[in-house]
Structure 1
Amino acid sequence: MVCLQETKLSKAEGEHFLTYCKGWKGLFVQAMGSDGGIGILWRECEFSVSLVENHQNWLAVKAFSMSLNVHFIGICIYGPTKTKEKQRIWGQITDFLNLQKQGMLILGGDFNSILDVAKKLGGNNCTTQGMVDFRNFIQNSGLMDIYIENGIYTWTNRRRDFLNISERLDRFPISPVWIQDDFSVRAKFLPCSISNHFPIELHIDGHFHNIKTCFKFESMWWKDHNLISQLELWWREAKFGGSISFQIHKKLQYIKLKLKDWNRNVFRNIFYRKYFKCTRAQGA
């Protein structure tokens, strides 16, 4: 599936473009003259997609991935540049998400906003209000910003030295339910040719139908007096990039795996120990 922003295409031009893409389908929001325009393209053999809602700056679809065997909501976004317009768009999308019962969400596009000052290099300082509004939108929507493996800035003005300005305007916020044991979620830059924006590839691999038992922290583990120091050690050694919520989630995943290994090899499997004690008591 491909998410396009600032296509500068009319709806008719977008549909004509699809005639050159055999095996692909698409939905387009018409540009206002030479400004804006967004679209979503998908392979018929890989996705089933239907339109849910479309506006000038965003397009929402319901999709089914045949390879993952999962339904999800996808939203393609081209954020405005003015703060008031951004507030309006964030409010629209928040209201839309609040009405959705589908828990699997993927937002993608050029948000024309950064989450913090570290995501901008050069140029004038960003308005604090714009960053706060965008950060609140991501957090209040219960989304996680996916870490990009091979870079920081997604847009550049292509100038050199002190005239260069680079920002992370493009991203893929997703719902945390994607970050499960059964899914591997990765994002990386693709080579950039003539655009000021680097394309981003979001890769999701896994099979949701492989149901695993829920992890449960056993109170019996506290009997080991070294457990607290072990937890502190694992927390420090688990280092991940991305948003704070993403880092915390990955740290907790890391500690869960460490606890399972510790229980099996150090503490020994407590369920086996319970069974052993019960059978010994019955034998007595």
Structure 2
Amino acid sequence: MIVISYNIRSLGNIAKQRDCRDLISSEKADLCFIQESKLEEFSESLCYSWWGANNCKWAARNSEGRSGGILCAWNKDLFFVSSKWDFPGAVIIIGVWRPNNLRCCFVNVYAPSNPSEKHVLWDMIRVFVDQNKDLCLCVLGDFNAIRDPGERVGSGEPYGATETRLFDLFIRESELLEIRTQGRKFTWYQPNGRCKSKLDRFLVNKKWITE
């Protein structure tokens, strides 16, 4: 199973649609999770064009104006989705990975910047994870939070010790494991490169690792 998570910052941009389609094709992705689509509507024709074929289905939370937007898309021949939900900050899909009949759940996150709204999101995901331990769970996307001060550099704003502690606590109490990524340490950069943070992550439960 090949999974892509991409904070695209406007899927309505033709060049970014092409870049994403090329990435899905080159990596032979089975599922793709988009954050910050900035799309108020998402159509079948756009999905097929962006995916590069008509063998896909999707679940989306549309943006509010030009803010936010979350999209999950998958190869319908390989992954059968039985349930899907969306709420502020996340879209959830549950289904069966057909090649080995594995029941999986994906939580695609685009967290709000407001700390109190973020904490509500952590609590909702924590409860969901606790209720679905029998599934292979993957929580991924842009969490808009750091786990320790070293994951933010160059910002003039305080890193927020309480928020950082609560985010790390959410991950540990949910018994999620972070998949270490290769390449750049930071996932968000200001255009001038002076400020940078690690905001994007792949988190999985133990069943995901063992299965």
Bucket of the pairwise TM-score, normalised by the shorter protein: 0.7 to 0.9
| CA shift for structure 1 position 57 | 1.1
The answer as to 2:178 corresponding to 1:149 is no
| CA shift for structure 1 position 16 | 4.1
CA distance in 1, matches of 2:144, 2:76: 30
| CA shift for structure 1 position 31 | 0.7
SS in 1 for 2:207: helix
The answer as to 2:124 corresponding to 1:95 is no
CA distance in 1, matches of 2:80, 2:161: 40
The answer as to 2:153 corresponding to 1:137 is no
1:201 corresponds in structure 2 to none
Flag the structure with higher helix content: 1
CA distance in 2, matches of 1:150, 1:68: 30
| CA shift for structure 1 position 13 | 2.8
SS in 2 for 1:153: coil
1:63-142 paired onto structure 2 within 5 Å: 63-124=95-156, 125-142=158-175
Contact kept, 8 Å, 1:122 with 1:166, in 2: the verdict is yes
| 53 and 152 in structure 1: CA distance in 2 versus 1, 3 angstrom threshold | same
When structure 1 is superposed on structure 2, of 28-37 and 96-105 the one drifting more is 96-105
61, 68, 83: which one aligns with 1:29? 61
SS in 2 for 1:90: helix
CA distance in 2, matches of 1:179, 1:88: 27
1:246-265 paired onto structure 2 within 5 Å: none
The residue identity in structure 2 corresponding to 1:172 is F
SS in 2 for 1:172: strand
| 55 and 14 in structure 1: CA distance in 2 versus 1, 3 angstrom threshold | farther
2, 17, 24: which one aligns with 2:46? 17
Cα deviation digits, residues 170-213 of structure 1 (max 9, x gap): 00110022223xxxxxxxxxxxxxxxxxxxxxxxxxxx4xxxxx
Q: TM-score, normalised by structure 2?
A: 0.78
SS in 1 for 2:82: strand
Contact kept, 8 Å, 1:73 with 1:102, in 2: the verdict is no
The answer as to 2:201 corresponding to 1:171 is yes
Give unpaired runs (5+ residues) of structure 2: 1-30
SS in 2 for 1:179: helix
| CA shift for structure 1 position 15 | 3.9
Q: TM-score, normalised by structure 1?
A: 0.59
Flag the structure with higher strand content: 2
The one of the two structures with greater contact order (alpha-carbon pairs below 8 A, sep at least 6) is 2
SS in 2 for 1:41: strand
| CA shift for structure 1 position 54 | 1.2
Give unpaired runs (5+ residues) of structure 1: 181-207, 209-284
Cα deviation digits, residues 223-282 of structure 1 (max 9, x gap): xxxxxxxxxxxxxxxxxxxxxxxxxxxxxxxxxxxxxxxxxxxxxxxxxxxxxxxxxxxx
The residue identity in structure 2 corresponding to 1:152 is K
The answer as to 2:78 corresponding to 1:49 is no
Where do 4+ consecutive residues of structure 1 move more than 4 Å? none
Contact kept, 8 Å, 1:14 with 1:28, in 2: the verdict is no
State which structure, 1 or 2, has the greater radius of gyration over its C-alpha atoms: 1
SS in 1 for 2:166: helix
46, 55, 70: which one aligns with 1:38? 70
